[in-house]
A and B are shown apart, each in its own frame.
Chain A
Amino acid sequence: MRKRTLILIYLILPFFFTGCFDSREIGDHAYVTALGIGQGISDTFRLTFQISKFGQGSGSSGGQEGEEGGGGGKNEEMEVITIDASSLLSAVSITNSYLSKDLNFMHLKLIVISEELAKNDMMEETLAPLIRYRHIRRTTNVIISKENAEEFIKELKPYPGELITRTLEELFENSMKIGYFHNSTLNDLYCEIKSPYHALLVTYGSINKEDNFKSEGDFFEGEPNIPGNYYAGEVPRKGGPKIELVGTTVFDGDKMVGKLTGFETQMLHLVRGELKFGPFSITDPEKPDLAIPLDITEFEKPVVKVDLNGENPKIHVKLKFEGDIVSIQSGIDYETPEKLPIVEDAFEKQLIKGIKDTFDKCKEMKADVFDFGTTAASQFWTIPEWEEYNWLEKFSESELEVEVDFTVRRTGKLIKSEPNFSSEGKE
């Protein structure tokens, strides 16, 4: 019996060493943190790999002495490789012919697709292989970049002292706080591209070349701009990371048909109930050259009704918000019960206009970015009936009615605005 047991143990023992057959240590891999896809010149796709070194001191290069600060400095912890290939797998295998480490996508955080590729009806061809690829997770974020993906990835730097993966995670989390861009993952993309309910939305990103930042010229006059009403790459700013995510690209099927600004993206997020709180700003009703910033919170979930009985679908949206006045630049006493409704009314009108303008823009693109289709689908009994109705086509003929109810709850750290005094007396 003892002899038998020993033999059995000896026979089983080799199975514990099977891992040695194809074992890979952490250091054997080159971890791709961002993948860029664009149209190739020598082959179908131009693929760019941002390879990060995860180790001691990684990600801290941005703030080192003698280097440029702000994360835009020289970063020796990353390598960017670009290659033209027919597919991701072939690009990986060719790369492995000159790179000693195995390319690994387990820590891939971002996929950047060039706008030109997205406009050329090639999203399906680009996405389908990625979804099937075992290493790439469906939770990976996706961006459509204004520039080619290679350029974009070269400018993708970590926040000083951080790993690039963390920087990207935090950057995308901001979508929920500000709503200026849509947080899209590979899973969302794949589900939406095949969806009969709504259109595909993808984050819009670009390199800010500081072209819109004017150092010289006359000082600004007139009504303040609507915050976030830009496309990525157009924000008038200087310094900080070069890449920015503002706005959203809109697709009809797998073809990019347009884009929305940061403000328009906020509008669609409010209607979809995806922006629970966020910063907004209205033009001061009594002093139009100044603004009243507001911090708003969703009070009730959006109520969407779709009436399919008429010739054209009629959509009714009811939104309810509450919020705080963050500041009153004009110093006008809007805090008083008599004047508070003026602010509330102005904000309601601004939202209604913003939503309707965004809706009209999307109607022209034939893209239901508001997700009204899912409400419309509840009025159909079966999938064949629903698919036959073809909501995505009918959406462009639909009419929208918006109702917004906004209540100012708090007025910040001041409950009253007293006038200023000058040599001329009370202003």
Chain B
Amino acid sequence: MIKEGNFGYHEAISTLLITIVINVFFTSPAIVVEIVGNVGWYMTIISMLTAIFAFMFLYLLLKRFPNKNIMEISDVVLGKWGSAVFLFLFGGFLLWTASISIREFAEILKIYVLPRTPPSFITILFLITIVFFSYMGLETIVRFAKFIIYILGAGFILVIILSSQNFNFKNLFPILGYGLDNTLINGLLRSSLYGEIVLIGVIASSLQGYKEIKRIGLSTLFLAGLITSISLLVFTLVFPYTVGQEITSPMYEMAALINYGGFMQRMEPLFLFLWNFGSFVEIAFVFYATLMIYCHIFRIDDKRPVILPMVTTLYSLSLIPKSITEVTSGYVQTLRSWGWVFYFIPPVFILIIAMIRKKKGESKNA
């Protein structure tokens, strides 16, 4: 039986931060440029603030039911069947997002690095790691995240510093992009980028109480907003809005443009490193959260027998999109624009019902 264990502030922040920020390394920045032009860097701050606002509802819910995770709270508030339906939908949604991430990862890896390798092979190799992580349990995932985040952070900073040779600050003008109203609306909608913060609700039982949850949630969102904003800003400084929206993986291309003469060029392997390890953590964590939800619905104590069937489902889901176009302009775009409905509405909904039905968790000191 896998034990979730307890872990601290740093582990939780590292895991959630990587899970959220890794999306910037894929096709999202190009879509952002297409929608809001050269102002993605401050649009994402609006998204972050929206996510913080939405997170506060989740926090209030977790505060109302101390030491309980979202699945247990849902059982109490919605009842056995209501909770099962809600959790099934939520778990399904998470599995779907993980499948999109895997497909996006495999497609981009194939485009830039492994053109002759069958995508299924890339996906299977990736999934083997996910299976390994899942067998080791949540504590292993978060501790790995904490270990790797320093290396990823150093790599990220290095890529940004080295890219400074290609910065053109005039790319930031016109300063309002396609208009303030457009930026504001998309900023609100694209709060979904930070939607994975709700996974804190799934792992709440492993954290040290609601006060720490608040601290973790706010710190994660703030850091994620900052890193995403810097990434988008740097990307805008390197590529003008007319070109930025065309590039499959802007951050990769940005790293490939680094050129300091004969001895300092072809830096994209550094970016690949960030990309691969970040994706491992993101998908492993989302997958494991799904696993936890599923096992909770069906009251399965031992998660191990469920891992392989669920990975097979994940693999099958990742094969559904026909092409990268369908992944980027269809699935990813839908997820980023409307994912907030699945991420942020349920906690609000559960909180309201809990208040109406006067459901409340036991006080810690009772």
Contacts and interface: CB of A to CB of B under 8 A. Distances in A.
B170 A375 contact: yes
A389 to B, nearest CB: 10
B257 A138 contact: yes
Given A187-B257, A191-B243, A374 B174 contact: no
| Highest count of chain A CB atoms <10 Å: which of B116, B243, B262 | B243
A119 interface: no
B239 A191 contact: yes
Contacts of A166: 262
A383 B38 contact: yes
Contacts of A191: 239-240, 242-243
A134 B259 contact: no
A190 B243 contact: yes
B259 A197 contact: no
A374 B257 contact: no
Nearest to B118: A21
B174 A385 contact: yes
A196 B242 contact: yes
A169 B174 CA distance: 35
Contacts of B173: 374, 377-378, 380, 386
A390 interface: no
Contacts of B79: none
B170 A378 contact: yes
B366 interface: no
Interface residues of B, number: 33
Interface in B207-247: 239-243
Interface string A91-120: 000000000000000000000000000000
Contacts of A173: 261
Interface stretch (B137-145, B175-183, B276-284, B286-294): B175-183
B345 interface: no
B243 A194 contact: yes
Contacts of A196: 242
Contacts of A385: 174
Contacts of B239: 191
Given A22-B116, A191-B240, A377 B257 contact: no
A301 B243 CA distance: 27
Nearest to A166: B262
A18 interface: yes
A137 interface: yes
Given A169-B262, A380-B174, A134 B256 contact: no
A12 B125 CA distance: 10
Interface string A368-398: 0001001101101111111000000000000
B178 A382 contact: yes
A377 B170 contact: yes
A15 interface: yes
Contacts of A44: none
Interface in B247-262: 253, 256-257, 259, 261-262
A370 to B, nearest CB: 13
Contact of A377 (B121, B174, B262): B174
B89 interface: no
A134 B174 contact: no
A225 interface: no
B75 to A, nearest CB: 36
Contact of A382 (B179, B242, B243): B179
Contact of B37 (A12, A134, A383): A383
B313 interface: no
Contacts of A12: 128
B174 A381 contact: yes
B120 interface: no
A139 interface: yes
A329 interface: no
B259 A195 contact: no
Interface in A14-43: 15, 18, 22
Nearest to A24: B116
A197 B170 contact: yes
B240 A383 contact: no
Chain B CB within 10 A, most for which of A187, A374, A382: A382
B265 interface: yes
Interface string A171-183: 0010000000000
Interface in A111-155: 134, 137-139
B240 A134 contact: no
Contacts of A197: 170, 240
A194 B242 contact: yes
Contacts of B178: 382-384
A138 B241 CA distance: 17
Contacts of B257: 138-139, 187
Contacts of A187: 257
B111 interface: yes
A187 B115 CA distance: 22
Given A166-B262, A197-B170, A383-B241, A134 B177 contact: no
Contact of A195 (B115, B242, B262): B242
Contacts of B266: 137
A194 B178 CA distance: 17
A383 B121 contact: no
Given A381-B174, A381-B176, A134 B243 contact: no
Nearest to A15: B125
B112 interface: yes
Contact of B121 (A18, A138, A190, A371): A18
A380 B115 CA distance: 43
What 3 pairs across the A-B complex have the smallest Cβ distances?
A374-B170, A194-B242, A378-B173
Interface of A: 12, 15, 18, 22, 134, 137-139, 166, 169, 173, 187, 190-191, 194-197, 371, 374-375, 377-378, 380-386
7 contacts: A374-B173, A377-B173, A378-B174, A378-B175, A380-B173, A382-B174, A383-B37
Interface of B: 37-38, 111-112, 115-117, 121, 125, 128, 168, 170-171, 173-179, 239-243, 253, 256-257, 259, 261-262, 265-266
